Structure 1
Amino acid sequence: MLRTRRAWTALILGAVALAACDGAPELSEVAAIDRAPGNITVTPDKRIIFSLHQFFEPDWRVAEWTDKGLQPFPTSDIASAKDPDVTLHSVLGIQSDSQGVVWMLDNGMRGGAVPKLVAWDTRNNKLHRIIELPQPITPPDAFVNDLAVDETHGKIFISDPAGGGNAALIVVDIASGGAKRVLQGHDSVVPEDRDMVIDGEPVEIKQPDGSTVRPRVGVNPIALDAKNEWLYYGPMHGGSLYRIAVSDLIDTEAKSLGEKVERYGRKPISDGISIDNDGNIYVTDVENNAVGVIDRSTEYRIYLTDPRLSWPDALSFGPDNRLYTVSNQLHRSAVLHAGVETATPPFYIFSFKPLAGGVAGR
């Protein structure tokens, strides 16, 4: 019986994937959980803390995986605090610094609140800092998504895909709490016109009139190198990874900042990136149930793939020099599956051995 053209294509692509992953590291299951994770950070004390993705409308906003299982984070539950400035609404981006202060990026969308950064001191179990991000730093359609904490320069860099055409980066000064919106509408942050197709099915959003659209998401993955010299980023729906020197990002006038941006290399449609101490960049390859790597040659290749990596969302190094990631089936949420949720637990936290160690928390 003759094979169909589709079958031959699947066979060839499968062989390519296997070849790309030949000798790939083992994907180790850290936890199977009943709530869908968003982004993840592993503190210097090896506490595994992650946001819970708002597309699934979770009862908790942030959680921690402990020897007792899944626990809300922080333990004093600021999500239920009476102070509206402290309440967590919808956290995605999350990152620990070297002192175990976990910075949570609350986009405020579930409560119609002003986006903000909330920092929690895990070693002393107390609130460390709140920095609000009001208009015009965040426009009405802001969707502040991911962040990179720079302790060398006292800055936090935020990716905001917003409405696509007005996507931008945000630079926050930790000491003053001041912020600026930069590179808005630049080619390096706006999405390309390409569909996201996972397991043979395009991702679609149902509109109020019942029709569907295929999303185009701007800048999302963002990460600093180990020395805090370069910031790497790119649009989720885009085939290129870009970088800019941190010194330029901090000091250059906004009108000429675009001239400082460099295209670094090719990447797949991706949700998160992380960088090891040798400059290898790990990329969540959501279309291929994989994690890829862009090595120092700037060429992209699949590093490991596994059917359980159903929408690998984010990455974080632990103090054990392993790289942690999550799987949340986001393309099966009602938001991205034409209004019909088909995601089923378990969702996962994994770890694997990278090519080199990295900075814990990122």
Structure 2
Amino acid sequence: MKASWKKKIAITLGILGFVITICLVFVKILYGGGTFYPSVNTTPIKQNSLKVLTELPYPPGMVASSQEGRLFFNYHMLHKPERFSQATLFEFVDGKKVPFPNIETQDKFYHAMGITVDHHQRLWVTIPRGLDGKQPSKLLAIDINTKEIVFEHQFKEGVGIFAQDLRVSLDGKTVYLADCGFLPLAVPSLIVLDIESKSSRVLLKDHSTLAPQNWLIQRQDGKPHQLFFGLLSFKVGFDGLAVSKDGHWLYMAAMSHDTVYRVPTRVLTDKNLDDEKISSFIEEVGKKPLSDGIELDKDNNLIITDVEYGSLAILTPEGKLNTLVQDKQINWSDSITIANDGTIYFTDSRLTDLINTLAQPASKEKIIANGPYKIYKVLP
């Protein structure tokens, strides 16, 4: 009798092991493959203009400049800096980081991802639900002069789960958010929020211009960036966005994608147009590296971070792509902003150095040991 039960248990465990193996193979085939992206690097055209703005104890995430030249940044939420630091959102003042808007309200901005300053003196902050999943995705705005929170919105369940970057229309009435998605958990989309009514539309969901292509992101050691012991390749969708200087175009770039696109902003706010109609207005701008943040300069050149080669690329309006600056010490060029005087600021978030295969952040000891962490500037 005992032998019979042991045999049944062994058969059951064998079947279970077989099913699990088949499932893992299926996941690997579906989400773990890919091809290395061919390098689009060229000889840097402004290498001597690359400078270190500041050094930090924890990795920076996003950076944003105001029209008057004020500079804001945060620590990168995937490193979970709130474990060690009460403040995670800052203004850079006279060479020092100052908690913004103040130290007392910092807990409202824990898990913040994207930041941007609009033309109406407001610092906008996204707090995506993301991998944490413990809170609804939120959007807040702070008046940078009064330091008061002037807008707060909680998205509906399932909206903006990975809304990690954003831009605001020139008239200050509309917010565009890039929800990058994260296969197999979510798909990328563009969220358009009407500020006055607090109503939002989820557009171009899993559209080919926003979805990741089958490219592997290469680490500095030459290995592919993969998660869960190689089961998932780190492929990210819609990640970078920028509004043209005249406000007529929204530029869109998926991280694991070879092309930048743009779409007229007027069609995004037209509630009579569905995804099919909107997609007919999308234009191809040009080729790009595998990227994170993007931004337009005063001459309508698109400045693009290159997450594989520690560099920034520049894409001209005519579609010519070159490397702008490069430094082998840069691990992951992340967020970018351009001040009115033409100075480019960007962060190195060091994602591939410190996030492990289970997408978990490093310990404080490891983070400190690998520091300091830098925000760079490129002089005009």
Q: Structure 2 length normalisation: TM-score?
A: 0.80
Deviations 1:309-359 (A, max 9, x none): 3211011112332111111211112246876846611111111135xxxxx
User: Deviation of residue 241 (structure 1)?
Assistant: 0.7
Q: How far does the alpha carbon of each residue in 1:271-327 deviate from its partner, in whole angstroms, 9 at most, with x for none?
A: 000001221000001111100010011122111111233211011112332111111
* C-alpha distance 78-265 of structure 1, shift in aligned 2 (>3 A): same
Tell me: CA distance 1:211–1:282, structure 2 relative to 1, closer, same or farther (3 Å).
closer
Query: What is the aligned partner in structure 1 of residue 54 from structure 2?
Result: 31
2:310 is the counterpart of 1:284: no
Q: 1:64 to 1:214 in 2, by over 3 A?
A: same
Match of 2:9 in 1: none
Q: Quick check: 1:205–1:339 contact (8 Å CA) kept in 2?
A: no
Q: Distance in 1 between matches of 2:81 and 2:257?
A: 29
In the comparison of the two structures, how many residue pairs are matched?
A: 327
Are 1:152 and 2:171 counterparts? Answer: yes
Give the whole-Å Cα distance in 2 for the aligned partners of 1:102 and 1:23: 30
- Contact in 1 for aligned 2:45/2:323 (Cα 8 Å): no
Aligned identity (percent) is: 23
Distance 1:125 1:23 in 2: 37
Tell me whether 1:57 sits opposite 2:80 in the alignment: yes
Pick from 292, 296, 303: which aligns with 2:324? 303
- Aligned twin of 1:70: 97
Q: CA RMSD in A?
A: 2.3
Question: How many Å separate the matches in 1 of 2:181 and 2:212?
Answer: 11
Structure 1, unmatched stretches of 5+, are 1-12, 81-86, 355-362
Judge conservation of contact 1:314–1:325 (CA < 8 Å) in 2: yes
State the secondary structure of the residue aligned to 1:278. Answer: coil
Paired amino acid for 1:57 = K
Q: Which has the higher helix share?
A: 2
- Match 1:346 to one of 350, 372, 378: 372
> What are the within-5 Å matches in structure 2 for residues 52-201 of structure 1?
52-59=75-82, 60-67=87-94, 69-80=96-107, 87-109=108-130, 110=132, 112-138=134-160, 142-152=161-171, 154-164=173-183, 166-199=187-220, 200-201=222-223
How far apart, CA to CA, are the structure 2 residues paired with 1:153 and 1:64?
22
Change (3 A) 1:163 1:111: closer
How much has 1:156 moved relative to structure 2? 0.8
| CA spacing shift, 1:264–1:125, aligned 2, 3 Å | same
The CA distance in 1 between the partners of 2:157 and 2:358, in whole Å, is 31
Q: Find out whether 1:325 has 2:346 as its counterpart.
A: yes
**What are the within-5 Å matches in structure 2 for residues 11-26 of structure 1?**
20-26=43-49
Residues 80 and 361, structure 2, Cα contact 8 Å, conserved in 1:
no
Query: How far off is 1:72 after superposition?
Result: 2.4
Contact residue 34 and residue 345 of structure 1 kept, 8 A = yes
Q: Deviation digits for residues 44-101 of structure 1, max 9, x if unmatched?
A: 3433211211121102332232336233222153233xxxxxx233111100112321
CA distance in 1, matches of 2:324, 2:71: 23
**Residue deviations 1:118-140 (CA, integer Å, cap 9, x gap):** 101110121111122213533xx
- What TM-score does the superposition give when structure 1 sets the normalisation length? 0.84
Q: Is the 8 A contact 1:45 1:100 kept in 2?
A: no
Gaps of 5+ in 2: 1-38
Separation of aligned partners in 2, 1:153 and 1:183: 22
Change (3 A) 1:277 1:340: closer
**Aligned 8 A contact 1:50 1:62 in 2:** yes
Q: Greater CA radius of gyration, 1 or 2?
A: 2
